[in-house]
Homo-oligomer: A and B are copies of this chain.
């Protein structure tokens, strides 16, 4: 099973969980209460998040308090940053231009036969 950070943040529910746990420590049931899906489903999401280091668990009696530990997001950030030079540049504008002409070609194509 793939358990990397890229995969972890691909799921919108997990991104929401991260958003909650970044600001407040919560036990698992409290997290689950914010969603319409079942508690076991949330439990699995949190398990995955802990497995890739984005959430840490602090056990207190029968409760498990979860907090976000977002340093691992650096892996994604680093991957993206290496390409930042390609954004909002002439190159990027060229790409947008090409995308535009491509659409025009597709439209023209059917008729031109």
Which residues on A are within 8 Å of B, measured CB to CB?
Answer: 6-7, 9-10, 12, 15, 18, 22, 53, 56-59, 67-71, 73-74, 76-77, 79-81, 83-84, 86-88, 92, 94-96, 98-99, 101-102, 105
Contacts and interface: CB of A to CB of B under 8 A. Distances in A.
Given A98-B58, A102-B59, A73 B83 contact: yes
A52 B90 CA distance: 20
Contacts of A59: 102, 105
A18 B77 CA distance: 15
Q: Top 7 A-B pairs ranked by shortest CB distance? A: A69-B95, A10-B10, A56-B99, A56-B95, A58-B98, A6-B10, A70-B83
Contact of A98 (B22, B56, B84, B94): B56
A68 B83 contact: yes
Given A10-B6, A10-B7, A59-B105, A92 B69 contact: yes
A35 B12 CA distance: 29
Given A9-B6, A73-B80, A87-B74, A68 B95 contact: yes
